[in-house]
Chain A
Amino acid sequence: MSPLLEVRAATVAFGGGRAAAPKLALRDVSLTLPAEPSITAIVGESGSGKTTMTRLMLRLQDPTRGTVHYDGQDLKGLDRAAFLRYRREVQAVFQDPFGVYNPFYKIDRSLLLPLRRFGIAATRDEAYELARQSLEAVGLRPGDTLGRYPHQLSGGQRQRVMIARALSLRPRIIVADEPVSMVDASLRATILESLYRLKVERNVSLLYVTHDLTTAYQIADRIVVMFNGEIVEEGDPESVIHQPRHAYTRLLVSAVPPADPKVNWGLENGALAA
């Protein structure tokens, strides 16, 4: 079986010209997501290339060099039918649950429109039924959610509606770029659990992009650490977190505050690096 999604030797360059060398957001990076359901976490700081990686996988952008394959086929070579199938089966959940909704429409529209456009629901009633099922699958009560405007829902509820929207299209993978970083800490666990259960119960894979190592450890089968446009370490969560090999991974692990006041994290005696 071909891998689900595969980035092969991709380089992404921005800018550059006669005077300046181009800025490389990705440097000859390869990443394979297996055909069987899995959760892969990409961690790294701002500018490490993790969001550029998701843009390639969602085909919001093509690599400067290298290729991206879905189900073994180069994304650039897909015919219209195959591309539509790819668009339906690879769904995105973005960081900002406040920015993704059009404030003039009820959230019903975000749920119903893709169901109709992808031909999954033939009628409005059928679309509503599927929307209700998806909302329940992510722990929302349809009666409290449908018929409302985005501003009437909390950030956590909105983000779960986005997951429900993605789920209703029967995807094979959800690409989630920092889905909980703008959500209250108390609600993060609930949203991550929704995503985790999609893999366990519905065989939906997840690419989870984050700068938070603890949630990556909590949810992922595999952690990929990116730094400066390259993958510097990857492996199963136990070994990446508990026996990190790369200095940058060790730095990331040490940047997580231990939730125990008895453990000394070194806030008091840290040197002031500029």
Chain B
Amino acid sequence: MSDPVLEVVDLHVEFPTPTGPARAVDGVSFTLDRGMRMGLVGESGSGKSTTVLALMQLIKAPGRIAGGQVRLAGDDLLGMTPEAIRRARFSRIALVPQGAMNSLNPVLTVRAQIDDLLDAHGSAFSANERSRHVAALLKRVGLAETVADQYPHQLSGGMKQRVCIAISIALSPQVIIADEPTSALDVVVQKQVMQTLIHAQREVGAAIILVGHDMGLMAQFAHVVGVMYAGRLVEIAPVGRIFSDPRHPYTRMLIASLPNFSSRGVFRGIPGVAPSIVDPPPGCAFNPRCPRAENRCSREIPADDLVAAGHRVRCHFAREVADVAPA
């Protein structure tokens, strides 16, 4: 029944520093089924953006992919030649980058930027077909055809974000990676952009990885949610289980810290600060902030524990069914 389009196995990404390698991504594994939407959450520096950049092979030197495998519909992405990777980008795995509004070229029209992508991938469209393709793309993301001949500064933030989504689906990729696509947008526009993203994803039948730190948005968007902490994927489960039966204390605290419309004057922040990935705490990296921590947590790195179908947790106490996070 499962039909993986993307398989990531034991991925490692390192950045050299004077005091040793910083393990930005430390043994991340997951599979993404065709057409599914996955959310990847974590705080700044947890490795979520680095993970998805590694999938696109966009890690800049001196950073490097230090190990692992990435298979896209069975093909080994990490073993491809640079030219093969270049061709795979956007035609098979596309990126809606972080701060997508600033990723558009300010001196080119929207049409010229879509043409650029088509040219780079050797499109055989005639001029007429191309024009129709651009119009159809813009229509798919809810924009008028006239937007094609406008410059980025003539568009609002939400419209620019939709242009970036249009570019990401232009070549009907199998996987779309969206790295915090709405973090710079107003809340009302955020919802519209997310609707656009889902609509576009369905039209081309792509799977999506959405990177972000808003658990509320993940609850609504994702089929599967992965939680990263200090370079490790500490919990991954179907969205229903993440919210109804979270097993990692960090996941529980992330959910408990969300404000809602039923309690006022109540704050459940996560105490402490994120660890340094150059010199992480021994054992489980969350142990200095964890209310459940015991001695073994600062000695042994928890193994991946499959507690239910599709639900993996890296915590020594993952099989305890605890109540909600302590206040």
Contact = CB atoms under 8 A, between A and B. Distances in A.
Interface of A: 45-46, 154-157, 184-193, 196, 211-215, 217-219, 237, 241-242, 251-262, 265-268, 270-274
Given A185-B43, A188-B259, A214-B261, 6 more contacts: A186-B257, A189-B267, A218-B259, A261-B219, A270-B191, A272-B199
Nearest to A218: B259
Contacts of B142: 272-274
A106 to B, nearest CB: 18
Contact of A267 (B143, B189, B195): B195
Interface string B119-147: 00000000000000000000001111000
Interface in B239-296: 239-240, 243, 253-255, 257-261, 263-271, 273-274
Interface of B: 43-44, 141-144, 157, 186-192, 194-196, 198-199, 213-217, 219-221, 239-240, 243, 253-255, 257-261, 263-271, 273-274
Contacts of A261: 219-220, 239-240, 243
A258 B219 CA distance: 7
A259 B261 contact: no
21 contacts: A45-B186, A45-B187, A45-B189, A184-B43, A185-B214, A186-B43, A186-B269, A187-B269, A188-B259, A189-B268, A189-B270, A190-B271, A196-B265, A213-B187, A214-B216, A218-B265, A241-B261, A252-B187, A259-B216, A265-B191, A272-B142
B191 A267 contact: yes
B267 A259 contact: no
Contacts of A219: 264-265
B110 to A, nearest CB: 14
A224 to B, nearest CB: 16
Contacts of A255: 187-188, 190-191
Given A187-B270, A273-B142, A256 B216 contact: yes
B180 to A, nearest CB: 11
A256 B191 CA distance: 8
Contacts, number: 138
Contacts of A273: 142, 192
Residue of A155, A186, A270 with most partner-chain B CB within 10 A: A186
Contacts of A242: 261
Contacts of A188: 257, 259, 269
Contacts of B268: 189
Given A193-B267, A218-B265, A259 B219 contact: yes
Given A257-B216, A257-B217, A257-B219, A185 B186 contact: no
A252 B188 contact: yes
Contact of B269 (A190, A212, A215, A254): A190
A265 B271 CA distance: 31
B259 A189 contact: yes
Contacts of A214: 216, 258-261
A237 B255 CA distance: 23
B75 to A, nearest CB: 30
Contacts of B243: 259-261
Given A256-B187, A257-B216, A260-B219, A186 B270 contact: yes
Residue of B220, B239, B270 with most partner-chain A CB within 10 A: B220
Contacts of B189: 45
Residue of A192, A242, A259 with most partner-chain B CB within 10 A: A259
Given A214-B260, A260-B243, A270 B192 contact: yes
A259 B270 contact: no
A218 to B, nearest CB: 4
A212 B187 contact: yes
A214 B240 CA distance: 22
A154 B274 contact: yes
A272 B199 CA distance: 8
Contacts of B264: 217-219, 237
B195 A257 contact: no
Contacts of A192: 267
Contacts of B254: 185-186
A211 B198 contact: no
Contacts of A157: 273
B150 to A, nearest CB: 13
A137 B265 CA distance: 18
A274 B195 CA distance: 12
B157 to A, nearest CB: 8
Contact of A259 (B44, B144, B255): B255
A237 B261 CA distance: 9
B255 to A, nearest CB: 7
Residue of B192, B268, B269 with most partner-chain A CB within 10 A: B269
B186 A267 contact: no
B43 A187 contact: yes
B278 to A, nearest CB: 13
Residue of B191, B196, B267 with most partner-chain A CB within 10 A: B267
A196 B265 CA distance: 8
Contacts of A274: 142-144
Given A184-B44, A187-B269, A193-B267, A259 B258 contact: yes
Given A185-B214, A217-B264, A259-B243, A155 B44 contact: yes
Contacts of B271: 190
Contacts of B253: 186
A258 B216 contact: yes
Nearest to A182: B183
B288 to A, nearest CB: 13
